[in-house]
Structure 1
Amino acid sequence: MRVVVMGQAAFGEAVFRRLRDDGFDVVGASAPGPSGGRHDPLWAAAEAAGVPVVETRALKDSAGQEAWAALKPDLCVMAFVTEIIPHEVLELPRLGSIQYHPSLLPLHRGSSAINWAIIFGRTETGLTIFWPDRGIDTGPILLQRRCPIGPDDTVGSVYFERLFPMGVEAMSEAARLVREGRAPRIEQDHAKATYEPPCRDEHAQIRWYEPADRVYALIRGCNPQPGAWTTVEGGRLRIFDCRLTGEEAPGMPGRVLRVDEGTFDVRLNGGVLRVMRVQPEGEKKIPAGEWAAQAGIAPGYRFR
């Protein structure tokens, strides 16, 4: 079976290598073009293997589509695709296209599925391999896999520790099912669908008056991107690594309780947040206690 892989970054590369290891005839790849003089990992892996590469954005014009069609694919495997691809391109392979999505569809359609699952306080998520159609993550389901969201998980830990390796395995299994003619097309229950927008700064502001678990979920659901933020002297401070300590403390929410060399503690409504890593506006991430010392933040200061 002639397979083309469309994707990017480490996940796209891992799926490309896995399908080749599985014995699939990978005849082409599509990835973002070079940026800053560097090739995307999928692009670089395909080029090193002597596999033709078409820039993903080129698939939106006739020249790119002709180059893609010339590969004569039986199946397109979409591993981490962020561009909107014309439906005609997805229908071009003889057996169609299959796509990875990091949620249990129809929940959390959209590009920030992991972020919102954590922000909303879910204790479980997963991945879906589906047959894309003209909608956004609305196509029939081929297979799904579930995984837990732990109380201290971030977007980074859920993705890299679970959904990345699970996704490579799932894409391999899905492609094998297509090759064997056993791949299902299970319609999604659209009445249960949720769709959230890309998680951006407008969604990431910390409201210190909210319950502790909600504040903590927001910070974890924005780590590492876009980074939950608060303001200090008119500038934005992004908060990344942190923990709820299990303590209770009196006073107003947002009040700094203590500062040490590496961390500082903030009183929340229903708990205490130990902040371990922050990023001042325009600077690199640094230990939270180090930033507090530099900024003159002492116990009694209040974030608002």
Structure 2
Amino acid sequence: MRIVVIGQKWLAATVAADLAAAGHDLHIIAPNAEDRLAVAAHALGVPLSLHGPGRRLDGTAIPPCDLAVAAHCHVFLPAEARAAARHGVIGYHPSLLPLHRGRDAVWWTIHNGDPVTGGTVYRMDDGYDTGPIVAQEWCFVRADDTPASLWRRDLAPMGQRMLGGVVARLGEGGALPETPQPELRPRLGPLEQPASLGG
């Protein structure tokens, strides 16, 4: 398949290398020439585009392709950009969506004392981490974890494995399952109780 990889750092570079090794035809979009993803593009000998420091990708930035894969991606991909990919854009988010949407998901996991977390591959839409879920995996959070240790030990390798698995399934002709994200229920305050619990 012709795949565009958008992202940065270790996760995006590793995913790109895996996809190239699997025989896919890649085009890479990285934030700058020094990023590990850009370095990987040169090492792999594949086309490279740089999107610069902005938070929104230009509508024509993604070339026509079968699929776009967002790995450690911190830019918004508008509908006109996503439309260039025949099978859309899938992304990896390091939480069990809909929990901890946004850029600081791993920090919030540690800050909230979550005992369990995980990763989600989802189809990107017009929201921030709101698209339908394609795949999820979970892991335990250790008592002494920091955001960095949790990311490096479990969540980044999980993203590499999950994105590769989803792409392989699509490449074999399998349809990607899509489950809408459930609505988050607001937390009850200390003096609030559900009516069914009584007083």
Alignment TM-score, normalising by the size of structure 2: 0.86
**Contact 1:108–1:193 at 8 Å: present in 2 too?**
no
Instruction: Give yes or no for the alignment of 1:32 onto 2:27.
Output: no
Question: Structure 2 CA distance, aligned partners of 1:122 and 1:40?
Answer: 31
State the one-letter code of the partner of 1:3: I
Q: Which runs of 4+ in 1 moved over 3 A?
A: 57-62, 191-194
Deviations 1:228-261 (A, max 9, x none): xxxxxxxxxxxxxxxxxxxxxxxxxxxxxxxxxx
Within the candidate set 24, 44, 50, 2:45 is matched to 50
Classify 1:101/1:193 alpha carbon distance in 2 versus 1 (closer, same or farther; 3 Å): farther
**Alpha-carbon offset, residue 162 of structure 1:** 0.6
Correspondence for 2:83 = 91
**Alpha-carbon offset, residue 88 of structure 1:** 1.4
Correspondence for 1:176 = 168
Correspondence for 2:191 = none
Question: Structure 2 CA distance, aligned partners of 1:60 and 1:116?
Answer: 26
**Contact 1:131–1:141 at 8 Å: present in 2 too?**
yes
1:58-207 maps to which residues of 2 (within 5 A)?
60-61=57-58, 65=60, 68-69=62-63, 72-179=64-171, 180-192=173-185
Where does the alignment leave 5 or more consecutive residues of structure 1 unmatched? 195-304
**Alpha-carbon offset, residue 5 of structure 1:** 0.5
Question: Structure 2 CA distance, aligned partners of 1:190 and 1:166?
Answer: 24
Classify 1:142/1:193 alpha carbon distance in 2 versus 1 (closer, same or farther; 3 Å): farther
Q: Output the aligned Cα RMSD.
A: 1.8
Percent identity at matched positions? Answer: 38
The DSSP-based 3-state class of the residue aligned with 1:6 is: strand
- Larger mean Cα displacement after TM superposition, 93-102 or 179-188: 179-188
**Alpha-carbon offset, residue 193 of structure 1:** 8.1
Classify 1:94/1:193 alpha carbon distance in 2 versus 1 (closer, same or farther; 3 Å): farther
Question: Structure 2 CA distance, aligned partners of 1:193 and 1:93?
Answer: 35
The DSSP-based 3-state class of the residue aligned with 1:10 is: helix
State the one-letter code of the partner of 2:95: S
**Alpha-carbon offset, residue 172 of structure 1:** 0.2
**Contact 1:6–1:56 at 8 Å: present in 2 too?**
no
Question: Structure 1 CA distance, aligned partners of 2:39 and 2:116?
Answer: 34
Where does the alignment leave 5 or more consecutive residues of structure 2 unmatched? 188-199
Correspondence for 1:12 = 12
How many residues get paired? Answer: 184
Classify 1:193/1:88 alpha carbon distance in 2 versus 1 (closer, same or farther; 3 Å): farther
The DSSP-based 3-state class of the residue aligned with 1:54 is: strand
The DSSP-based 3-state class of the residue aligned with 1:121 is: coil
1:232-243 maps to which residues of 2 (within 5 A)?
none
Alignment TM-score, normalising by the size of structure 1: 0.57
1:250-269 maps to which residues of 2 (within 5 A)?
none
**Alpha-carbon offset, residue 25 of structure 1:** 2.3
Correspondence for 1:272 = none
Give the number of the structure with larger relative contact order, counting CA–CA contacts within 8 Å between residues 6 or more apart.
2
**Alpha-carbon offset, residue 132 of structure 1:** 0.7
The DSSP-based 3-state class of the residue aligned with 2:65 is: coil
**Contact 2:57–2:75 at 8 Å: present in 1 too?**
no
**Alpha-carbon offset, residue 181 of structure 1:** 2.6
The DSSP-based 3-state class of the residue aligned with 2:62 is: helix
